[in-house]
Amino acid sequence: MYTEKVMDHFKNPRNMGEIPDADGVGTVGNPVCGDLMTIYIKVKDNRLIDIKFKTFGCGSAIATSSMITELAKGKTLEEAMKITRGDVADSLGGLPPVKMHCSNLAADALHAAIEDYYKRRGEEVKK
């Protein structure tokens, strides 16, 4: 059902955990639907110098969370805002169709964390 890449990220998730003094935090999803993700970011000179995740959900929810941290780490905030759900799924070698909407929320969580960062600084979101 899942690609080897998805299973690799599920078995060995990258950047799992919390950042206690995060500069931005984004949470999306709902436990009622079976998926809830939180992304924590640390920003320096407009770049994501650290990023971590915590996820309640199915295999693809965990794999997409792990993958987004790899895709976003080191990117500028503007670059990170351009990462889409499709990019995450493509980087994992695809997701089963039924999972494309319900469990592919990692990009949304990342964007929410960046928006939170701007909000904390009283700045407009730059896209």
Which residue among 99, 108, 113, 116 contacts other proteins (CB under 8 A)? 99
15 near 73, Cβ under 8 Å?
Answer: yes
By C-beta, is 33 or 125 nearer to other proteins?
33
Shortest reach from residue 104's CB to other proteins, in Å: 12
- Active-site annotation holds for 58: no
Q: Show contacts with other proteins in window 10-39 (CB under 8 A).
A: 10-11, 13, 16, 27, 31-38
- Please tell me whether residue 100 binds other proteins under the rule CB under 8 A: no
Instruction: Give dist(CA 120, CA 80) in Å, integer.
Output: 18
- Residue 98, judged by CB atoms within 10 A of its CB (0-12, 13-18, 19+), counts as exposed
Which residue among 103, 111, 113, 116 contacts other proteins (CB under 8 A)? 103
Instruction: Give dist(CA 78, CA 115) in Å, integer.
Output: 11
From the list 33, 49, 98, 125, the catalytic residue is: 33
Residue 41 Cα to chain centre, angstroms: 10
- Closest of 58, 36, 19 to residue 106, by C-alpha: 36
For other proteins, the binding residues (CB under 8 A) are: 2, 7, 10-11, 13, 16, 27, 31-38, 54-62, 98-99, 102-103
